[in-house]
Structure 1
Amino acid sequence: MSKILITGYSGFVGGHLLNALGTLENVNLLGRSTPPKCHRHLKASIDPHSDYSSVLEGVDAVVHIAARVHVMSDTAENPLEEFRLVNTAGTLNLARQAAAAGVKRFVFVSSIKVNGESTTERQAYSVLDKPSPEDPYGVSKAEAEEQLLALSKEIGIEVVIIRPPLVYGEGVKANFASLMKLVGKGLPLPFRAINKNKRSLVSVYNLVDLIKVCIDHPNAAGQVFLVSDGEDVSTAEMVAMMAKVQEKPNLSIPIPSWCFKMAGKLFSKEDIVDRLTGSLQVDISHTKNTLSWCPPYSMEHGFRLACKQKK
């Protein structure tokens, strides 16, 4: 087994990856919290100046998950520069040090936001599309990808990039968890008529499986991979599945999509409404063909575990 360094191990995706690896003898950790078990660990942030050499020695592959994450209401005076400090400059600092330490492969968990925000009235995003990020988080991730690939050509470290859409599973927070709880209360929700859009999601279990494949698969080097469960759903279908896995009646009522869009314009919340009524699909054919990989878990499996929230 390859010796691995994981960043962001205390977060949602990183925690699931750590659990899925089983044996942790060959795992080093980099992060701001102290791990519950005894690993070689460096307590540090991802930034342009920190020294990570103590946890890079003897490592074969880095799985870089840590990031300054996207938030709906950012209070920073210059959000883009704050994102760049961590997600772009910090990532490049880590990658350069990894290459200097002899690390063979750098797996970067990026974001579908590099492609854009919506596929409403267009085809699904693919790896062939030109990056078109629309917010500071997406820009910082796109710049990191570009600079990592350039670094790979410059000094030879193998770079693998994974762009997930919304990730869910046990322990998920934010809007997905809130909607799951509302459905679980048996409340009548106004989403039954939002049945024409399509959204790609990825369970953390499928994402972790792909990350594990990318750590040492010979075809992964130098590639960008989009990932999803392979089952795109409308908002109405998503709510119906949330009701099913919680054994609750689906009490959604048919409020037309135009009502949501009108409310979005009135209250300047068009972006939120588009996430609810619009589409965001990804084409994972390149991932499947290049790696001979298919999502091993169904969307229903992920939804069932997502409703079992950690305390």
Structure 2
Amino acid sequence: MKILITGSSGYVASNLISSLKYEKIDIHTVSSTKRDVSKKHFFIKKNASQKLWDNLLESNSFDCIVHLAAQVPDSSIANDKHTYFHANYENTKKIADAAFKAGVKKFIFMSSVFVHGNSSNFGPIKEDDPFDPKNFYAESKAMAEKYLIKNFFHSKMKVIIIRTPMIYGKGAGGNWGALIKLAKSPLPVPFKNFKKNKRNFLYIENLVDFIKYIITNQVKSNTYLVADHCTLSTQSFFTLIRQAFSKPARSFYFPFLNFFLRNLNKSTYLKLSSSLEISTKKATKELNWKPKYQTAEAIKKSLL
């Protein structure tokens, strides 16, 4: 099998490539950086034309494309609609169109649970729940999904869309990196304010295992929510991190914290207090796939 992985210098892609090197798979990579992560690496600029993508895919006969290249959430460009839509919608459209014309059999697209919104107020989020994106990142991912579903779900090219929550693991940044930094400190934290919400997270090795399953098995075009099976509150997740460091939880309740955060920094307040519960029943039932690692074990592995 010959596959192409886009965004090969990114966190998910680099972990996937490391795992696939033990499989009998001919791995090729492409990114907009000149960092050579494999012996078969293509460099393509972010504004590459449709013709360039057509030529690349038509001349290489790939069986599968794993499209991981994306503009991830970044507070410094939160209002830059063009950057998000160019990277996450327009480039996805170009690559998918080129893949279809080139006869690629399988196209895997990495999306996000945030296409459904930032919270789950009425029970676990399911794949057929309506789109409700709250920012340009989520909106651009939703647009890309709609294009793929409309144009290719009933075509000869199988399209699998993967929606994920926050991804954590060794070397991950973002919110995970911030939690690690906080957990290492000896200071007590007011996380007992956030002990009733329900959130799902996704360990990088569980995600890689799911992508590998999709690559190596016969699957129909479909959309899947993927997450660790364990649903935790913000407080419980943070406590597991501190326990992995062999530190006491040191969590306390601060009476007015919710009020202050709600009024001073609503975004931070929602990240800490809201629920984002995900149903993974579809992947479990249809694919008979289950995460290899439970969250507590995964956190320990992440900190080795």
Compute the TM-score of the two structures, normalised by the length of structure 1. 0.90
Counterpart of 1:294 (choices 284, 290, 297) is 290
C-alpha spacing 1:48/1:157, structure 2 compared with 1 (3 Å): farther
Amino acid at match of 2:283: T
- Which stretch has the larger CA shift, 108-117 or 79-88? 79-88
- Residue pairs, 1:117-136, within 5 angstroms: 117-119=118-120, 121-136=121-136
Aligned to 1:41: 41
Which of 275, 279, 282 matches 2:271?
275
- The answer to whether structure 1 residue 217 and structure 2 residue 227 are counterparts is no
After superposition, the Cα gap between the structure-2 partners of 1:217 and 1:169, relative to the gap in structure 1 and judged at 3 Å, is: same
Residue number among 251, 261, 264 corresponding to 1:264 in the alignment = 261
Alpha carbons of structure 1 residues 149 and 163: separation in structure 2 relative to 1, 3 Å: same
State the distance in 2 between where 1:96 and 1:247 align: 50
Q: Contact 1:46 / 1:66 at 8 angstroms: preserved in 2?
A: no
Change over 3 Å in CA distance of 1:161–1:198 after alignment to 2: same
Q: How big is each residue's C-alpha offset from its partner over 1:234-262, in whole Å with a ceiling of 9 and x where there is no partner?
A: 11111110111111122112224xx3331
Aligned positions of 1:1-311 closer than 5 A: 2-23=1-22, 26-36=26-36, 38-47=38-47, 49=49, 51-52=52-53, 53-54=55-56, 57-74=60-77, 79-119=80-120, 121-153=121-153, 155-219=155-219, 221-256=220-255, 259-267=256-264, 269-308=265-304
Aligned residues: 300
Task: Tell me which amino acid in the other structure corresponds to 1:260.
Answer: L
Distance in 2 between the 1:231 and 1:38 partners?
Answer: 34
- Aligned-partner Cα distance in 1 for 2:123–2:38: 47
Answer yes or no: is the 8 Å Cα contact 1:8–1:14 preserved in 2: yes
Q: 1:153, CA displacement in angstroms?
A: 4.7
SS at 1:107 equivalent: strand
Deviation larger for 58-67 or 144-153: 144-153
One-letter amino acid of the counterpart of residue 18, structure 1: I
Deviations 1:197-233 (A, max 9, x none): 11100001111111111124323x2110001101011
Unmatched runs of 5 consecutive residues or more in structure 1? none
Name the CA distance, whole Å, in 2 between partners of 1:85 and 1:61. Answer: 23
- Partners of 2:214 and 2:48 in 1: how far apart? 26
Greater CA deviation, 154-163 or 12-21?
154-163
Distance 2:85 2:174 in 1: 23
After superposing the two structures, state which structure 1 stretch, 177-186 or 39-48, moved more: 39-48
Inter-partner Cα distance in structure 1 for 2:154 and 2:209: 29
Cα distance change of structure 1 residues 37 and 64 upon mapping to structure 2, 3 Å threshold: closer
The answer to whether the 8 A contact 1:48-1:92 is kept is: no
| Alpha-carbon distance between aligned partners in 1 of 2:20 and 2:160, rounded to the nearest angstrom | 19
Amino acid at match of 2:151: L
Distance (whole Å) between structure 2 residues aligned to residue 55 and residue 27 of structure 1: 14
**Contact 1:197-1:277 within 8 A present in 2 as well:** yes
Shift of 1:280: 0.4
Residues 1:135 and 1:37: Cα distance change in structure 2 (over 3 Å): closer
Measure how far apart 1:185 and its partner are: 2.1
Query: Structure 2 CA distance, aligned partners of 1:203 and 1:283?
Result: 16
Deviations 1:113-144 (A, max 9, x none): 1111101x311110120111111111100010
Give the Cα–Cα distance (whole angstroms) in 2 for the partners of residues 97 and 75 of structure 1: 29
Superposed CA deviations along residues 53-108 of structure 1, whole A, max 9, x for unmatched, are: 335612100000110111224265xx223211111111010111111121101000
Q: Indicate the percent of aligned positions where both proteins have the same amino acid.
A: 29
Asked whether the equivalents of residues 153 and 222 of structure 2 are also in contact (C-alpha less than 8 Å), the reply is no
Question: Structure 1 pair 291/41, CA: closer, same or farther in 2 (3 Å)?
Answer: same
Secondary structure class of the residue paired with 1:192: helix
Structure 1 stretch displaced more, 32-41 or 279-288: 32-41
1:33-72 CA distance string (max 9 Å, x none): 3454542211113446251333561210000011011122
